[in-house]
């Protein structure tokens, strides 16, 4: 089971398939609102953060291990200098569009994380 947080509050425990359905539902819901950050935490305390709800289909993926190691997905897939703000409770995290990934890429990374309980080594990660 995975803990899922959005708006910086624990929502519930979910299995893999339910998380993906929830993320799609939230992404559609927040397309007309302020984009948000969803955190998915495993039993060990490792967390994957994903940005959802941006109508331009931008997202980001950050990984935070229980011992404080932080990495972010490093492929710069989007072009431009738009600033996208993803909200998490009272906290706002700003990203330039060229620091983001396509939403479908973020979902692919999330699926790998849920199935393998680890980061996908086929994509590039950098320390943050």
pLDDT tens column, 19-33: 999 999 999 999 989
Reported pTM: 0.86
Round the CA-based radius of gyration of the chain to a whole number and report it.
13
Which residue has better confidence, 47 or 120?
47
Instruction: For residue range 65-117, list pLDDT tens digits in order.
Output: 888 788 887 666 666 678 888 988 878 888 887 788 889 999 999 999 999 88
Q: Is the pLDDT reported for residue 121 higher than 80?
A: no
pLDDT of residue 78: 63
pLDDT of residue 28: 93
pLDDT of residue 107: 92
Contacts of residue 38, defined as CB under 8 A and 6 or more positions apart, other chains included, come to 4, 5, 6, 23, 26, 49, 50, 52
Q: Would you kindly state where each structural domain of the chain is located, as residue ranges?
A: 2-127
Which residue has better confidence, 38 or 16?
38
Question: Three-state SS for 108?
Answer: helix
Mean pLDDT, range 54-62, rounded to an integer:
89
Question: What are the structure tokens assigned to 29, written together?
Answer: 């819901």
25 CB-contact burial (10 Å; exposed 0-12 / middle 13-18 / buried 19+): exposed
């Amino acid at each position: 089971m995975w803990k899922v947080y959005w708006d910086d509050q624990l929502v519930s425990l979910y299995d893999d398939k339910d998380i993906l359905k929830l993320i799609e539902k939230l992404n559609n819901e927040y397309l007309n609102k302020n984009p948000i950050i969803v955190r998915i935490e495993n039993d060990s305390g490792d967390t994957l953060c994903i940005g959802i709800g941006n109508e331009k289909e931008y997202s980001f993926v950050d990984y935070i291990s229980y011992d404080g190691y932080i990495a972010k997905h490093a492929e710069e897939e989007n072009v431009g200098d738009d600033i996208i703000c993803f909200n998490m409770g009272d906290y706002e995290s700003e990203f330039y569009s060229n620091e983001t990934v396509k939403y479908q890429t973020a979902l692919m990374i999330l699926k790998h994380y849920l199935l393998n309980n680890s980061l996908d080594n086929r994509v590039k990660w950098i320390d943050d």
